[in-house]
Amino acid sequence: MRCLKRFARIGFMEQQIRNLGALIEDTNDNVRLIAENFVDVKKGISGLKRDVGELKKDVKVIKEIQTSHTEMIGQLLVDVTVIKHELKTKVNQKDFAKHVAVC
């Protein structure tokens, strides 16, 4: 009877060792998958950092162009105001003809 209990215990322990081995193998596979995904995520982040760097450069150029255009628009407004004032003070042809006829 004692031998049977020992064999049963040994069989139980062997089964537990096999179960533990399968669990370790499964865990190793999962860790490997996580590591592979981590590498992919890291590459993705590097790509995003590069893209953000390029976008920052593009935005800087756009801001410089916007500043230039804003200055040009300001100058155009000044020029239009001057032209508008000059047109108001100019004498049209009819008024000029009347003015010349009087003299």
Q: What is the pLDDT of residue 12?
A: 81
Number of domains in the chain: 1
pLDDT reading at 46 higher than 80: yes
Q: Report CA-CA distances (Å) from 15 to 11, 25, 33, 45, 89.
A: 6, 15, 27, 45, 108
Q: d(Cα 94, Cα 100) in Å, to the nearest integer? A: 10
pTM for the structure as a whole: 0.53
Confidence at 9, pLDDT banded by 50, 70, 90? confident
3-state secondary structure of 57: helix
The answer to whether 61 and 69 are in contact (CB under 8 A) is no
Q: What is the pLDDT of residue 34?
A: 96
DSSP state for residue 90 in the 8-state scheme: S
Q: What range does the domain containing 78 cover?
A: 2-102
| pLDDT tens column, 65-97 | 999 999 999 999 999 999 998 888 776 777 777
